[in-house]
Chain A
Amino acid sequence: MQRYLLSRVIQSIMLMFGVLILVFFLVRLTGDPARIMMPRDASPADIEAFRDAMGFNEPLPAQFFHFMTGALQGDFGRSLHYRAPAMRIVLERMPATIELSLAALVFALIVAIPLGVIGGSRPGTTWDTVCRAVGLVGQTVPNFWLALMMISLFSVTLGWFPTFGRGGFGSIVLPAVALGLFPLGKFTRLVRSAVLEVRNEDYVRTAYSKGLLDHRVYTHHIFLNVSVTLVSIVGVQFGYLLGGSIYIETIFAWPGVGRMINEAVQARDFPLVQALAFVSAAFIVLLNLLTDLAYVLIDPRIRYED
Chain B
Amino acid sequence: ETTEPEIVTLRVAVPTFPNSLDASVAAERNAQNVSWQLFDSLVWANEQNVIEPALAERWDVSEDGREYTFFLREGVDFHNGEPFNADAVVFSWERGIQPHIEWSDRWARAESVERVDEYTVRISTAEPDPLLLGVMAQHWNMVPPLYTQEVGDDGFGAAPVGTGPFQFVEWVREDRVVLERNDSYWREGLPLVDRVVFRPIPESSTRMAAIQTGEIDIVNRLSFEQADALERVNDVDVVTYPIDRVFYIAFNNLTTGIDQPTMDPRVRRAMNYAVDRQAIIDSLFGGRAQLSTGLMTSSNLGYDPSVEPFPFDPDRARELLAEAGYPDGFEIGFAAPAGAYTNFEQVAEAVQGYLAEVGIVTDLDIIESGRFWDLEAEKQLPPLFGDSWSERSGESLPRLRGALGGWDASFSAWSDPVIDDLLDRISVTIDQDERAALYRELHRYMQDDPPFIYLYVPETFEAVRSNVRDYIPRAAEDYFLMFTSLD
Contacts and interface: CB of A to CB of B under 8 A. Distances in A.
* A adjacent to B, CB under 8 Å: yes
Contacts of A31: 370-371, 374
A40 B373 contact: yes
Nearest to A252: B206
Given A31-B370, A35-B377, A92 B402 contact: no
A41 B410 contact: yes
B215 interface: yes
Nearest to A251: B203
A151 B206 contact: yes
Contacts of A36: 370, 373-374
Contacts of A93: 173-174
Contacts of B203: 250-251, 253
A155 B100 CA distance: 43
A250 B206 CA distance: 9
Interface in B198-217: 199-203, 205-206, 209-210, 212-213, 215
A148 B205 contact: yes
A259 interface: yes
Interface stretch (B19-27, B62-70, B314-322, B429-437): B19-27
Contact of A151 (B99, B205, B373): B205
Given A31-B370, A35-B373, A253 B173 contact: no
B476 to A, nearest CB: 15
A255 interface: yes
Given A40-B411, A164-B199, A84 B154 contact: yes
B213 A41 contact: no
A89 B173 contact: yes
Interface string A54-93: 0000000000000000000000000001111000010011
Interface stretch (A1-9, A11-19, A217-225, A260-268): A260-268
A44 B200 CA distance: 34
A163 B371 CA distance: 34
A234 to B, nearest CB: 27
Contacts of B175: 96, 165-167, 253, 255
Given A35-B373, A41-B398, A164 B411 contact: no
Interface string A185-226: 000000000000000000000000000000000000000000
B202 A253 contact: yes
A: contact size bracket:
35 or more
Contacts of B173: 89, 92-93, 255
A83 B157 contact: yes
Contacts of B209: 151-152, 155-156, 163-164
Contact of A82 (B19, B153, B374, B409): B19
A251 B206 contact: yes
Given A32-B374, A35-B377, A36-B374, A81 B410 contact: no
A256 interface: yes
B: contact size bracket:
35 or more
A40 B337 CA distance: 15
A49 B173 CA distance: 30
B228 interface: no
Interface in B51-100: 99-100
A3 B103 CA distance: 57
B368 interface: yes
Contacts of A43: 410
Interface string B312-355: 00000000000000000000000000010000000000000000
Given A151-B209, A152-B209, A81 B27 contact: yes
A159 interface: yes
B370 A164 contact: no
B283 interface: no
Contacts of B99: 49, 53
A135 interface: no
Contacts of B27: 81
A164 B154 CA distance: 28
B104 to A, nearest CB: 10
B127 interface: no
A92 B339 CA distance: 28
B357 interface: no
B402 A41 contact: yes
B149 interface: no
Interface string B388-426: 000000000010011000000111000000000000000
Contacts of B118: none
A266 B410 contact: no
| A-B CB proximity, top 8 nearest | A255-B174, A255-B175, A253-B201, A163-B210, A163-B209, A251-B203, A82-B19, A151-B209
22 contacts: A36-B370, A36-B374, A40-B402, A41-B398, A41-B409, A42-B105, A83-B153, A83-B154, A84-B158, A151-B209, A155-B209, A156-B209, A164-B206, A164-B209, A250-B202, A253-B201, A253-B203, A255-B173, A256-B174, A266-B339, A266-B369, A266-B370
Given A156-B209, A255-B200, 12 more contacts: A35-B373, A41-B410, A82-B20, A96-B174, A96-B175, A151-B209, A152-B209, A162-B213, A163-B210, A164-B201, A164-B206, A251-B205
